[in-house]
Structure 1
Amino acid sequence: MAKIKWILFDCDNTLVLSEELAFEACAELANEILEKKGISDRYTGPSLLKDFVGQNFRGMMLSLTKKYNFTLTDEEFDSYVDRELGKVIETLEKKARPCDGVIPELEKLHESKKYQMAVVSSSALSRVQASIRKVGMDKYFDPNQVFSAATSLPKPTSKPDPAIYLHACKVLGTEPAACVAVEDSRSGATAAKNAKIPLIGYVGPYEGEEQDQMAKMLKEECGAIVVMRHWSEFEECLKKVEEAS
């Protein structure tokens, strides 16, 4: 029976309500790309979020090139990534809020010292740091324990690729089985699953029918041991993961 030592949190819409804000900024650039490529479709922030939730901007652009069958040079990719990052950070620094109920749970974990905590995100490191700093979570996470699929790896990637989870485990000096991941999206949950990290699904930011659909998907498709709808359920969920380990 593996003992859980590390809790690995996704950031966007798991710790910080940042996805909607970020996708507003992303939609503007996505539409610019589509227009330049002579494609008539256009995105709003919510429609982009629906199609690409959990992916970073590089992953999203890659998905767009496949969906609409066009190419971007490496230089174009890098230029758009830089522009998107600046727009998103500016927005997050003004408007980001913590997910409902998460701060008291982080405080309890911090006080108990029973587990160590890290952030494992698809988003660029500077964006993740801006998000957690804005909502006052930076005191819970050592800078060396914040990982980004877009920044921390030799070759940038995005969840559902498990590379960032495997990299985080290696740097933290732990095995996947001694961790638990907390994820809110299919891509993030799939990354954890493929890294063989026990998973708690989180559906707090979703509403109504979509919340039920996401809970079902996280359990049935992504192998979440348990799904929480509010952070107040975290302690109980963690207990269930430990019992299942």
Structure 2
Amino acid sequence: MPKITEILLDCDNTLVMSEELAFEACAEIANEILAKRNITDRYTGEQLIQDFVGQNFRGMMISLQAKYKFDMDKEEFEHYVKEEENKVIAKLEAKAKPCIGANEELEKIQKSGKYGMAVVSSSALRRVQASLKKVGQDKLIAPNHIFSAASSLPKPTSKPDPAIYLHALDRVGKKPEECVAVEDSKSGALSALRAGIPVIAYVGCYHGDEKRAEMAKQLSDLGAKVIMKDWAEFQDCLAQIEAL
């Protein structure tokens, strides 16, 4: 296997504990959309996470339309995409925290000089930038190495589509086997695996041992090579992949 020279990092709940904050804002907007159509179901942020974790808001709205059998025209769709982005960013700028140990490991990677780093996210670019800035990770990742499935591609998409990972590979000038991706969700792991990139599955963001064990199994079953329960294990996990 060629030498790994690039670490590709998911953002939400991999680097920054942002999903719960984001899904709070998403739930407010999803409920507004449902109420407007006289659909009585309502979501909490927690329920949205269970149904749609790893999808960006565009993907979620497409799934919501399919589930409740209604259509949004492009203008309304884009209005809500922008509104969601603004609400989420406001929450992130107020409350986002780094995943435990992530900053320390990113600093070690940067200091080692052995690996490049890029962020590969489903979320809108403004949201990713706000998250990284709030927790101080913007100083560790080059601005032109932040890639968003919602903003960086000619046609917006969402993980598990591999398009954003293929785009990132092209931009950083690496082959899939020269990279490793760190992902916490099924859709994220699938996106990287479909692009041919080995995956370290990070489960430290999930609450409780039972949930962590369940996600570890699901992500291993998909094809993730190594499970990382804590960012302190990153160097060991990377060494395991490099030894394959």
TM-score, normalization: structure 2? 0.98
Give the match for residue 31 of structure 1: 31
Secondary structure of the residue aligned to 1:220 is helix
Secondary structure of the residue aligned to 2:147 is strand
Cα deviation, residue 148, structure 1: 0.2
Which deviations, in whole Å up to 9, do the C-alpha atoms of 1:217-242 show, x marking residues without a partner? 00012x11001110001000000111
Which deviations, in whole Å up to 9, do the C-alpha atoms of 1:55-97 show, x marking residues without a partner? 1101100110111111111111100000000000011001000
Q: Hey, what's the Cα distance between the residues in 2 that align with 1:100 and 1:154?
A: 34
Which deviations, in whole Å up to 9, do the C-alpha atoms of 1:102-160 show, x marking residues without a partner? 11111100100100000000000000000000000011111100000000000000000
Give the match for residue 124 of structure 1: 124
Cα RMSD, aligned residues only? 0.7
Give the match for residue 211 of structure 1: 212
Matches within 5 A, 1:11-26: 11-26=11-26
Q: Hey, what's the Cα distance between the residues in 2 that align with 1:158 and 1:73?
A: 19
Secondary structure of the residue aligned to 1:227 is strand
Give the match for residue 8 of structure 1: 8
- 1:149 matched to 2:149: yes
Matches within 5 A, 1:159-174: 159-174=159-174
Matches within 5 A, 1:130-141: 130-141=130-141
Secondary structure of the residue aligned to 2:118 is strand
Cα deviation, residue 35, structure 1: 1.2
Cα deviation, residue 201, structure 1: 0.1
Q: Which runs of 5+ in 2 are unaligned?
A: none
Secondary structure of the residue aligned to 1:120 is strand
Q: Hey, what's the Cα distance between the residues in 1 that align with 2:62 and 2:211?
A: 26
Give the letter aligned to residue 214 of structure 2: Q
Q: Hey, what's the Cα distance between the residues in 1 that align with 2:15 and 2:100?
A: 9
Give the match for residue 187 of structure 1: 187
Matches within 5 A, 1:88-107: 88-107=88-107
Give the match for residue 111 of structure 1: 111
Secondary structure of the residue aligned to 1:193 is helix
Q: Hey, what's the Cα distance between the residues in 2 that align with 1:66 and 1:241?
A: 39
Cα deviation, residue 38, structure 1: 2.1
Give the letter aligned to residue 200 of structure 1: I
- Number of matched pairs: 243
Cα deviation, residue 173, structure 1: 0.8
Give the match for residue 86 of structure 1: 86
State, as a whole percentage, how many aligned pairs show the same letter.
63
- 1:198 matched to 2:189: no
Q: Which runs of 5+ in 1 are unaligned?
A: none
Moved over 3 A (4+): none
Q: Hey, what's the Cα distance between the residues in 2 that align with 1:123 and 1:138?
A: 16
Q: Hey, what's the Cα distance between the residues in 1 that align with 2:220 and 2:183?
A: 11
Give the letter aligned to residue 148 of structure 2: S
Cα deviation, residue 207, structure 1: 2.1
